[in-house]
Every structure is written in structure tokens, then in C-alpha cells.
Structure 1
Amino acid sequence: MIRTLILAGAFALAAGAACADEPIVGNWKTASGDTAHIASCGGSYCIVLKSGKYAGKKIGTLAGSGESYTGQITDPANDKTYSGSGNVLGNSLKMKGCVLNVLCKSQTWTRL
């Protein structure tokens, strides 16, 4: 029993350390109120909607570390893909998508 508790504690600490190294990983509330899940996938981070009209749809792939990430963001309503970026600041994630790096839209997501 004690050994099980020690192992469970060790796994919890390891998981916490991994999340601290990857601040973008986790569940985020989007500007429209849906939940997006960001997880490590193939050397980058995949964004998949978990709730709302487009639940289950992958809407982006970002690469980076720490607070800054860049990659591709897809608008699920029209399936158009844009150059994108994400910047993590505490429990906020500022997402930005651009056409030709000139016409940009941004929104802020909140960590759940």
C-alpha cells in the first residue's frame, strides 16, 4: 500500500514537471467558449477541439517552447489554414492567425 502511494506520488511529480516544461500543453477555453486540448504530437503541439460544433477537429499545429510557439492554425468554420502563433502568459494563451503575415486576427484563450 505504501509502495503504491509512493509510486503514485512519483508519477504525479513527473507529470507536473513535464507540464512546467511545456506551458502550452493542456485544456484551454477558446474565445467562442469551446474547449481546445493542446498536446505534444510528433515533435510539435497539436490543437484539437474537444467541445462545440467542431468537437474532434484538429485546428492547428504549433512548434516552440517556453512562452512562444509558431505554426499553422485552421479556422474550423471554413477549413482555411493560416500562419499562426501562440504566446503563453500565465493562464492566458494569445493565439494569432495571419494571411501573408499582414492581415491578422488574434484572440485570447484561458487555461481550464
Structure 2
Amino acid sequence: MLRILTMTFAASLLMAGAALADPIEGNWKTDSGATAAITTCGSSFCITLKDGKHAGKRIGTFNADGANAYSGKITDPANDKTYNGKASLSGSTLKMSGCVLGGLICRGQNWKKI
């Protein structure tokens, strides 16, 4: 009986952990049509391309700044340049942006959750 209770408790903890996943985690379709996976890596979130020309390449690391707001570094896989990045989540859309020169020049994309 104790073994069954222990196994039930362990299963409950695993399911609770999955339910507490951050909304940024998952697979996202980029503007270029590639799929980007956002997963936890330590206390941050890592962005890795899953398919396309740059499949397997890590292109960013972000930290949570508050409710549905994130900041970190994002790399353009085409030229390997890294920018200060920000992301904000609204429903199933993740608005990504990267800036240089203290925010004078910025570029952005809207990714859709898949």
C-alpha cells in the first residue's frame, strides 16, 4: 500500500511540473518558416532551430522579466551576429526583437506557437 501511495505521489509531482511550464516554452514558427524550440536551460530559456537551413543551431538565450516579458541575446543564424533581444507573449504570438546601438536600430518578427 505504501508503495502505491509513493508512486501516486511521484506521478502527481511529475504532472504538476509539466503543468507549471512557462508559456514561452514550446515550438514556434518563425517568420522565415523555420521551427524554433524554446526550452528551459538552467534558469534561462534557450532557443534552438529544429529544421531548415540552420537546424540544430542555438540562436538565443532569454530570461523571464515578468509576466510574459523576456530579455536576453538573439543571434541571426544567417550572419551569426548577436543582438540584445526582447520578447513579449500575447496569446499564441511571440513578438521577438533584436537591437543594436543601444536600441537605435531594431528588427523584429512575430512567431506563432505550433
Give the alignment's TM-score, normalised by structure 2. 0.84
Q: 1:66 offset after TM fit, Å?
A: 2.7
Unaligned runs of 5+ in 1: none
Deviant stretches of 4+, over 4 Å:
none
CA distance in 2: counterparts of 1:69 and 1:107, whole angstroms: 15
Unaligned runs of 5+ in 2: none
Give the alignment's TM-score, normalised by structure 1. 0.85
| Partner SS for 1:15 | helix
How many aligned residue pairs are there?
106
| Partner SS for 2:23 | coil
Q: Percent identity, aligned pairs only?
A: 50
Answer yes or no: is the 8 Å Cα contact 1:86–1:96 preserved in 2.
Answer: yes
CA distance in 2: counterparts of 1:52 and 1:66, whole angstroms: 31
Q: 1:12 offset after TM fit, Å?
A: 3.9
CA distance in 2: counterparts of 1:77 and 1:94, whole angstroms: 20
Q: 1:42 offset after TM fit, Å?
A: 1.9
CA deviation profile, 1:53-105 (whole Å, cap 9, x unmatched): 00000000000143100010000000000010110111000000001211001
> What corresponds to 2:52 in structure 1?
52
> What corresponds to 2:26 in structure 1?
26
| Partner SS for 2:36 | strand
Task: Specify the structure having the higher radius of gyration (Cα).
Answer: 2
CA distance in 2: counterparts of 1:66 and 1:35, whole angstroms: 24
